[in-house]
Amino acid sequence: MFNSEVYANRRRTLLEQMASRGAHGVAVFLGNVDAATNYRGNDYKFRQDSNFLYYWGIDEPWFAAVLDLDSAQECLYGNDVDIDDIIWMGPQPSVASKGELVGCSATAPLAEFDKAVAAAVSAGRPVHFLPPARYYNQMKLSQLTGISTDAVRKVAPVAAGGASEELVKSVVAMRLIKEQCEIEELDKAAEIGYWMHTEARRGCKPGVLEQEIVGRMEGVTYSKGWGPSFTTILSQNGETLHNHSHHQIITPGRLLVVDAGAESNTHYASDFTRTYPCSGKFTTKQREIYDIVQQANDYAYSLTKPGTTYWDVHYATAKFLLEGLKAIDLVRGDVDEMLPLGISGLFMPHGLGHNMGMDVHDMEDLGENYVGYAEDQKRHPLLGLGNLRMARRLEPGHVVTDEPGLYFIPALIEQWKREGTDKGFVNYEKLEGYYDFGGIRLEDDILVTADGARRLGPHRLPILSSDIEEVMANE
């Protein structure tokens, strides 16, 4: 938790943002509740809704809040503990004392929240809310507003009913630009991620079960922070972008893709990817592809600066990758002709990166296009070029990932070959020799600064192929 003025200032700024959009009525915020695994009392580890946490700071279940856009009055709703709670949990601070910690002097029991929303609805006042990520909140908002459970997740102008476009745009405008206190937490999360990945690299030895490595990695995140920032991706089948299966034994000659990150105790995320040779040394073929991706990672970083759109960085990096593939005869012809045809999508079917903050894909619960695209930007229709999650013009305070990759996906290659999607630019004869290659991805977390960018965290994981081999030989 930050100091109380951080949260009070955020809510004041939100009022200004909403006023600039001509919004009236009330903005309501639902925190998350406990979620049972198989029965009540045996719950998943609690994770607060990030938007509630951003404005109200309370990292506990069963809280809600209302912000009156017209009067600027605010109220935090939650229940003080009773004797049954004390028996199981011990004495707890009052809701009023928790409100003081986040700069909110008005508090009330949780049941009063329902009455406050009902009063606004009855008076015909606009009720602004964000699209709920969890089903309990989805059903709760539907119950309170009379809007269908499907509609409460659809973003539109508040007058149309559903999640408030005005509130979504206001929240996105604020959360995209990280405050100094947030940057410090992101650096902490990056440091935990560094040690998490160090454990993965040390565990990458023939004969080791992938699951054992994941267990040691995630142990680091719990000992130093809140836990993993997303489900760990660790696989020798790197051609599958998000592979969560960890049942294989580390096998000499293969590549191990590790895409993983950690949350700080204040719920700020990191997200790194490294690819390791399971033998400790790259083969000639592996090194060729690895070095193209590594150089693309550095190239993208060099282009990342204020005033540049991340779309342009993505597009330039896609061209860089195609030039590398042309140099080893996997594609043939004019790269400038290939690029607008989406040929890079065969080898990198994802975007260069995404926003990151309190969530690893920051705010994507609010709608990826609202978060990653400005109003004058449209998604590209082709695979790869159209899969970019963050395309906006970069500003100081933006945090993005830089994660180029090259993948050899037999089913996709065969489909393109069958349908002629490549327009004759792909050398399928040579590409067939890569069907058992897997994939390579390399990812860093980047803060856009006033004069350029910097990588988050005090240490950078080894990334040069020679450095990878050297450090693995000595571990």
CA distance 447 to 253: 35
Amino acid at 450: A
Q: What is the pLDDT along the chain (475 residues), one digit of tens a residue?
A: 999 999 999 999 999 999 999 999 999 999 999 999 999 889 999 999 999 999 999 999 999 999 999 999 999 999 999 888 888 889 989 999 999 999 999 999 999 999 999 999 999 999 999 999 999 999 999 999 999 999 999 999 999 999 999 999 999 999 999 999 999 999 999 999 999 999 999 999 999 999 999 999 999 999 999 999 999 999 999 999 999 999 999 999 999 999 999 999 999 999 999 999 999 999 999 999 999 999 999 999 999 999 999 999 999 999 999 999 999 999 999 999 999 999 999 999 999 999 999 999 999 999 999 999 999 999 999 999 999 999 999 999 999 999 999 999 999 999 999 999 999 999 999 999 999 999 999 999 999 999 999 999 999 999 999 999 999 999 9
Q: Do residues 400 and 390 lie in contact, with contact meaning Cβ atoms separated by under 8 Å?
A: yes
CA distance 12 to 246: 46
Residues in the chain: 475
The structure tokens listed for 26 are 């009330």
The structure tokens listed for 61 are 């279940």
Domains and CATH numbers, the chain: 4-175 (3.40.350.10), 180-473 (3.90.230.10)
Q: Do residues 220 and 195 lie in contact, with contact meaning Cβ atoms separated by under 8 Å?
A: yes
Among candidate residues 299, 358, 355, the one with its CA nearest the CA of residue 133: 358
Q: Which residues contact 89 (CB under 8 A, 6 or more apart)?
A: 81
Dihedral angle at the C-alpha atoms of 228, 233, 235, 237, nearest 10 degrees? 180
